[in-house]
Amino acid sequence: MYDILIKNGHVVDGTGNPWFKADIAIVGGKIVKIGRGLQGEAKTIIDASGRIVSPGFIDAHTHSDFNVLADPLCQSTIQQGVTTQVVGNCGSSPGPRAEGDEKNLGRLAAFPWLKPEWTTLGEYIDHVNKVGVATNVVPLVGFGTVRNVVMGPLERPATPEECAKMRVLVAEAIDEGAFGMSTGLFYAPQCFAPTEEVIEVAKALKPKEALYVTHPRDESDYTIGYGAAIQEGIDIARAAGVAVQISHLHALGVATWKRAPEYVEIMQKARDQGIDVTADQYPYAASAGGITGSVIPRWALDGGREKMLERLADKATRDKIAKEVAIAFKRRGGVERHTIATYLPNPAFEGLTVDKVAEILGEPPEYAVLTMLEKGDSSWVSKIIDEEDIVTFIKAPWVMGGSDGSSLALTGPVSGGKPHPRNFGTFPRWIGTYGRDMGLFRVEEIVRKLTSLPAQRFGLKERGLLKEGFWADVVVFDWHTIKDTATWDRPHQFPEGIDYVFVNGELVVDHKKHTGKLAGKALRKQ
């Protein structure tokens, strides 16, 4: 007796090979048989006639670390057919942490009622499994998080002793189950870590062949430039003897537009020389960030928020900061490209562009954002990515899907603001817009980039393919109708064309209806 029998589908198995017609039988969470006209009884029979049956999608880059605890249903993720998501990105992870450092857990601030009931990353994994979660979760350990435990938010390079301590903490996190270490070298204070420091810490990844994952030091022309920042990631991997994943491949701002071919070539050249470099991407012409992280000069952030507020209170220093903010906006193509996503001190600003907010506040935009910042930081969506660049990046065979979003919902604790539509639409958009409508890929190729490629990259065992003995993470979708519907103005919308989503052999989505099943698991690197 099978638990589930998915009959008559066009099986796209994740390898990139042409589809074939077959039934898929599932028992105890795993795929036990794939073949034509399977006989035998099943508790649940799904008719997948005229539909694609593929492995569940794997989101290579999310910030769902705390969202999975705030709302374990993971609605915006699972509704896209994503059955596994990687967390702990951009240098920031839920653990390890020092006692009393809740304030430094970055994104936890969005969920003031969540108490971190863990200290190590291993305990976080246990905690997620205790609470339950709808998708599988693949944790990375954050370099910034570890750095903070060892040396606090100091804006200087680490000493050799501090590097050694960080290396130990990273090794422990890997032993506890982390699949790799992420950096966010753009962000303060991680940006004060020189290349050599990161190499010294990344050496902890080598014994277990864990992955180095990096948000580059510059994705624009602010400091060293995007090309040099990608090259730095490659150099770190080479020196540490590990593989590297470049996070959210996107060229931000005027100076980088149309230069995607140059950036792809840097990575391809490294691959040709034997460096194992890959990347992930979300297919939208906008990034998301906040005032502090995007336009405020680094020197103004030295010493933390209190010190920054002191600087803003001094007229001459405020003018100096505003001048640099104006330059940053210019580099990013203009203030009108920035739309406020969430702003807790005044939610009425959400959905407005910065020039409109400036009008309301009666100040030039470069001063208006400082006035906003004094009450609290805002997240925004910035339309600063070139469409042609998106296509150039997506075509590289080693580029995979990563939303750079998190698990959100239509109602409840993770439903506020005007978030980037990538949170709701990345995966159907890859398939529907870039695969089918633009004709860039066969269905088999695009599914490969969303399944077996990320599974291979992160070393996920028995996932990413439809194969006997593998976990039954399965999506049933319609190639002709699959479509993202989340827009800039109305991001809170689930995609069309996805019939069923199974996680570890349990039905979690049935035609946009969440069954409530918390069928996922926080996974551990083996």
- The amino acid present at 235, given as its one-letter code, is D
Indicate the residue among 184 and 428 with the shorter CB distance to Zn ion: 184
422 is a contact residue toward Zn ion (CB under 5 A):
no
Indicate the residue among 290 and 364 with the shorter CB distance to Zn ion: 290
Indicate the residue among 90 and 243 with the shorter CB distance to Zn ion: 90
Please state the closest distance from residue 248 (CB atom) to Zn ion, in A: 6
Indicate the residue among 54 and 247 with the shorter CB distance to Zn ion: 247
- Within the chain, what is the greatest distance between any pair of CA atoms? 79
Please state the closest distance from residue 158 (CB atom) to Zn ion, in A: 21
Please state the closest distance from residue 296 (CB atom) to Zn ion, in A: 17
Q: How many residues touch Zn ion (CB under 5 A)?
A: 2
Closest of 242, 239, 226 to residue 278, by C-alpha? 242
Indicate the residue among 215 and 429 with the shorter CB distance to Zn ion: 215
In the block, residue with structure tokens 């939303």: 403
Half-sphere exposure of 94 (CA within 13 A, CB side): 31
Please state the closest distance from residue 91 (CB atom) to Zn ion, in A: 8
Residue 150, helix vs strand vs coil:
helix
Please state the closest distance from residue 289 (CB atom) to Zn ion, in A: 9
Whether the CB-CB separation of 254 and 331 falls below 8 Å is answered with yes
Distance CA 80, CA 425 (A): 7
Neighbouring residues of 165: CB distance < 8 A, sequence distance ≥ 6 = 150
Indicate the residue among 90 and 408 with the shorter CB distance to Zn ion: 90
Indicate the residue among 184 and 225 with the shorter CB distance to Zn ion: 184
Structure tokens at 310: 């002191």
Instruction: Give the DSSP H or E segment for 130.
Output: helix 121-131
Neighbouring residues of 128: CB distance < 8 A, sequence distance ≥ 6 = 68, 69, 137, 522
Please state the closest distance from residue 490 (CB atom) to Zn ion, in A: 25
Residue 390, helix vs strand vs coil:
helix
Distance CA 184, CA 278 (A): 17
Indicate the residue among 215 and 521 with the shorter CB distance to Zn ion: 215
Residue 113, helix vs strand vs coil:
coil
| Count of C-beta atoms within a 10 Å radius of residue 187 | 20
Indicate the residue among 142 and 491 with the shorter CB distance to Zn ion: 142
Indicate the residue among 211 and 503 with the shorter CB distance to Zn ion: 211
Distance CA 303, CA 433 (A): 45
Indicate the residue among 250 and 311 with the shorter CB distance to Zn ion: 250
Site string for Zn ion, 434-463 (x = CB under 5 A): ------------------------------
In the block, residue with structure tokens 């150039």: 392
Instruction: Give the DSSP H or E segment for 45.
Output: strand 42-47
Does residue 4 come out as left (phi exceeding 0), alpha (psi in the -120 to 50 range) or beta? beta
Please state the closest distance from residue 89 (CB atom) to Zn ion, in A: 6
Closest of 116, 74, 69 to residue 95, by C-alpha? 116
Indicate the residue among 51 and 250 with the shorter CB distance to Zn ion: 250
Residues 477-496 that bind Zn ion (CB under 5 A): none
Indicate the residue among 217 and 436 with the shorter CB distance to Zn ion: 217
Alpha-carbon separation of residue 198 from 93, 266, 487 (angstroms): 16, 20, 38
Please state the closest distance from residue 247 (CB atom) to Zn ion, in A: 5
**DSSP per residue over 161-217, as a string?**
HHHHHHHHHHHHHHHHT--EEEEETTSTTGGGS-HHHHHHHHGGGGGGTPEEEEE-S
For helices 315-331 and 305-313, the axis angle rounded to 10 degrees is 110
Half-sphere exposure of 298 (CA within 13 A, CB side): 15
Residues 196-255 that bind Zn ion (CB under 5 A): 215
Please state the closest distance from residue 122 (CB atom) to Zn ion, in A: 24
Please state the closest distance from residue 102 (CB atom) to Zn ion, in A: 22
Structure tokens at 141: 């350990």
Please state the closest distance from residue 214 (CB atom) to Zn ion, in A: 9
Neighbouring residues of 71: CB distance < 8 A, sequence distance ≥ 6 = 407, 409, 412, 413, 414
Residues 71-90 that bind Zn ion (CB under 5 A): 90
Distance CA 472, CA 32 (A): 9
Question: Where do contacts with Zn ion occur on this chain (CB under 5 A)?
Answer: 90, 215
